[in-house]
Chain A
Amino acid sequence: MKLPVPESPYRQRRLLGSVVLLLIGLASVQAMAAEDAPASFGWTTRVIAESRDARPGSAFAAGLPLTGFGRDRYRIEQELRGRAGPVSLLLTATESGQEGSKPAGRFVAHEAFADLDIGGERFSVGKKVLSADVAYGFRPIDVLQRESRLQLAPPPLEGIPMLSWDNFSTDGAWSLVIANPGHQRRGAAREDGSVALKLYRREGMADIHGVLRHSRRFGVELGGAISVVPGEALELHASLLQQRRGERMVPQPDAAGGAQLLNADAAIVLEALANPRRALIGGTWTTEAGYSLLGEVWWDGTAPDAADWQRLRRQSVQRAAMLGLPGVPAAAVAGASAASLRLFDQGNLLRRGALLRLGWSAPASGWSAALDLLGSLNDGGRTVTAAVAWQGERLRFDAGLRRYGGPGDSAFGQLPDRAAAFVGFSLAY
């Protein structure tokens, strides 16, 4: 669940400039890493429109005008993806608009990196997507990219500034990664400076992944994942992460008085955790007729639990009740209410989650469809998503509907959006 986060144009430009300068230098030193044609680029235009249906009678109503909840939106993306010599690029220029706001433009270098072979050793440097894990709905060991999963119509992933030293053997590999070099602790965990060792081993029908990461925020994180294909149709996977330290967003304590409830800065607090864990197991069954069934269940010790969502509900009701009281500024209620919605601004909302996904595809015709049921095993909240896609020669069409529901004090039951729909077209050149 992502709320709009303001970007610093200065920081963007400075970062991009540094990366481009670095790549130009590296490319001039080592243009030979390429083992085939020197350059190839593709262009894609995407138009995506989303409609959001606000939940009637939401306890957060006072704060919603300050957020993006319940507002229709669109974005038009121009994407350049390709490679020249050792340098790979993924650049987008996006115009986006939201109901009640002026359209805005944004240029992002999602990826700009060079893969190098120096003295027989392989390195990558630049800004690169560093996704990891074998799971679909939730990825415990995705400790570098920290991708928010199950978004309705997500934009392309944005890479992490990094330097890696990669080694490959017949059945294994390791990578030493320095992510966000020069950073200490930043606003979001994915922006923190860190050092990670990634391991991969192929053992017969199994892929085994390991990760060891150190950052100032979490200390040491140790994780492993396995994906096994025991038959022609069945794939099973599991993933586990153990952190030395952790943190999670929770609503402020209930003991807070009225003044504290109206303090937007204190609406959501970070709670420190000792030795939290994340774990997931799942599997996929695929049939000859083109149907697939994916099932996953997970535990996330860093996500809010049922009591946290219930507390958020109580506090949002209390704030709503303060509206119109003598001496209570409406702006303060609105600000605190909007700030409390930051609890939804995290990759996974569920302490214990389960995902069931029924998919169908007919590649010859280009059509595919999926029905997802995401449920909370803690609070009974759920989302149901139906999506359909068609891929032609160059044109792609996507459309989907999502409905949030459950008890009023569950995560999905109190989300200010009740439903969402999207439609998207992309044209590749």
Chain B
Amino acid sequence: MFKCIAMLFLASISLGAPAADDARVKALLKQADDYRLAISSGRVETEVRSFKGGTLDKTRLYAVYLKPGRRSLVLFRTASERGQKMLMLGDDYWLMMPASQRPLRITAMQKLLGEASTGDIATMTWSEDYEGTVSGEETIDGETCLKLDLLGQRKGVSYPRIVLYLAKKDRHPVQAELYVASDKLAKLARFRMGEVDGRRQVTVMTLVDHLQKERSTEVHYLSRTDKTLSDDYFNPAFLVRADLTQ
């Protein structure tokens, strides 16, 4: 009898372990997300600086509106891109070019090939899109980190696999290895922390391109506000309207 109870106990532990691990990873990702975007809806002003061989090549400005349900609207604000908009609703994407004034449905691959990969600026959370395991601990720049092996749970994610390093002490993101669909390491992301409105937040994400070695990108989060838009703005047909200043 005692033997049976012991076996049932062990079985329940072994069955429950993956679920407990999943929940732990989910919680870790949620904590990390809070350092990138602490609001569920809002507007993030972003400046993307592209470097070639260590020299500043281009600067791009974007306003990103985010809403729950993996909805984001990117307004291109640089002079040479003025009027462009990109809408992302889960795994579906639309691009509106000012010259044609038609919302065009685009594929995940076309989104990935966009200027500065708008997916990098429009997706600011991991917990909704990735699941995985904690595979160990490593020290990055003197910081003890938890190493998470993450797999995308949606077909439209920019990077189907991510190896994420979170600081063990407070779970802030330190580094991420971003892999494309062919499982090549595409970019290495580093996160710089700072004080924003009394909160510790990611202020700069640096992306070192591993496919084009001489290139790197800095994504500066200039401001985060809880300014929201009505649901109409997240309808592809609405993109032809000009209710938002570019």
Asked if B242 and A364 sit within 8 Å, CB to CB, the answer is no
Contact code string A401-413 (vs B, CB < 8 Å = 1, else 0): 0000000000000
29 A-B pairs whose Cβ atoms sit less than 8 Å apart in the complex: A35-B243, A38-B245, A39-B245, A43-B79, A82-B246, A156-B99, A157-B100, A168-B232, A170-B235, A171-B235, A173-B238, A227-B104, A231-B107, A231-B155, A232-B108, A232-B155, A233-B107, A235-B107, A284-B107, A288-B180, A363-B113, A363-B114, A363-B117, A365-B212, A391-B115, A393-B57, A393-B58, A393-B80, A428-B78
Q: With A207-B236, A364-B209 as known contacts, state yes or no: A292 contacts B110, CB within 8 Å.
A: yes
Asked if A36 and B83 sit within 8 Å, CB to CB, the answer is no
Return chain A residues, CB-CB under 8 Å to B14: none
Known: A37-B245, A391-B115. 7 other contacts (CB 8 A): A38-B245, A82-B246, A172-B237, A231-B155, A288-B181, A393-B59, A394-B80
Stretch of A98-106, A127-135, A416-424 on the interface side: A127-135
Return chain A residues, CB-CB under 8 Å to B105: 134, 207, 227, 229, 235
Of chain A, the residue at the smallest CB distance from B184 is A288
Return chain A residues, CB-CB under 8 Å to B83: 81
Return chain B residues, CB-CB under 8 Å to A156: 99
Interface of B is mostly: loop
B132 in contact (CB, < 8 A): no
Contact of A363 among B92, B101, B109, B115 (CB under 8 A): B115
B156 in contact (CB, < 8 A): yes
Say how far B233's CB is from chain A's closest CB, in angstroms.
8
Q: With A81-B98, A129-B101 as known contacts, state yes or no: A35 contacts B238, CB within 8 Å.
A: no
- A247-286 interface (Cβ within 8 A of B): 284, 286
Return chain B residues, CB-CB under 8 Å to A202: 92, 236
B124 in contact (CB, < 8 A): no
Asked if A288 and B109 sit within 8 Å, CB to CB, the answer is yes
Complex Cα–Cα for A206 and B229 (A): 24
A17 in contact (CB, < 8 A): no
B50 in contact (CB, < 8 A): yes
Return chain B residues, CB-CB under 8 Å to A88: 242
Complex Cα–Cα for A269 and B242 (A): 41
Of chain B, the residue at the smallest CB distance from A116 is B243
Contact code string A167-182 (vs B, CB < 8 Å = 1, else 0): 0111111010000000
Asked if A234 and B107 sit within 8 Å, CB to CB, the answer is yes
What total count of A-B pairs have CB within 8 Å?
Answer: 140
Contact code string A1-40 (vs B, CB < 8 Å = 1, else 0): 0000000000000000000000000000000011111111
A78 in contact (CB, < 8 A): no
Say how far A30's CB is from chain B's closest CB, in angstroms.
12
Complex Cα–Cα for A366 and B236 (A): 27
B8 in contact (CB, < 8 A): no
Of chain A, the residue at the smallest CB distance from B98 is A81
Complex Cα–Cα for A366 and B80 (A): 12
Contact of B244 among A36, A113, A129 (CB under 8 A): A36
A58 in contact (CB, < 8 A): no
Complex Cα–Cα for A288 and B112 (A): 8
Say how far A390's CB is from chain B's closest CB, in angstroms.
11
Asked if A173 and B245 sit within 8 Å, CB to CB, the answer is no
Return chain B residues, CB-CB under 8 Å to A288: 109, 112, 180-182
B3 in contact (CB, < 8 A): no
Contact code string B209-246 (vs A, CB < 8 Å = 1, else 0): 10010010000000000010101100111100111111
Contact code string A30-71 (vs B, CB < 8 Å = 1, else 0): 000111111110111000000000000000000000000000
Complex Cα–Cα for A202 and B89 (A): 11
Q: Which residues of A contact B (CB under 8 A)?
A: 33-40, 42-44, 81-83, 86, 88, 113, 115, 117, 122, 124, 128-134, 156-157, 166, 168-173, 175, 200, 202, 205, 207, 227, 229, 231-235, 284, 286-288, 290, 292, 361, 363-366, 391-394, 396, 428-429
Asked if B236 and A42 sit within 8 Å, CB to CB, the answer is no
Complex Cα–Cα for A205 and B105 (A): 10
Asked if B109 and A287 sit within 8 Å, CB to CB, the answer is yes
Asked if A200 and B102 sit within 8 Å, CB to CB, the answer is no
Asked if B231 and A170 sit within 8 Å, CB to CB, the answer is yes
Return chain B residues, CB-CB under 8 Å to A130: 101
Say how far A238's CB is from chain B's closest CB, in angstroms.
13
Complex Cα–Cα for A227 and B59 (A): 33
Of chain A, the residue at the smallest CB distance from B160 is A232
Complex Cα–Cα for A131 and B180 (A): 35
Return chain B residues, CB-CB under 8 Å to A82: 82, 246
Asked if B246 and A40 sit within 8 Å, CB to CB, the answer is yes
Asked if A33 and B238 sit within 8 Å, CB to CB, the answer is no
User: Which among A38, A156, A393, A429 has the greatest number of chain B C-beta atoms within 10 A?
Assistant: A393
Say how far A33's CB is from chain B's closest CB, in angstroms.
6
B116 in contact (CB, < 8 A): yes
Contact of B80 among A35, A168, A396 (CB under 8 A): A396
Of chain B, the residue at the smallest CB distance from A142 is B102
Return chain B residues, CB-CB under 8 Å to A231: 107, 155
Of chain A, the residue at the smallest CB distance from B59 is A393
Complex Cα–Cα for A292 and B245 (A): 32
Complex Cα–Cα for A168 and B57 (A): 40
User: Which among B92, B156, B181, B229 has the greatest number of chain A C-beta atoms within 10 A?
Assistant: B92
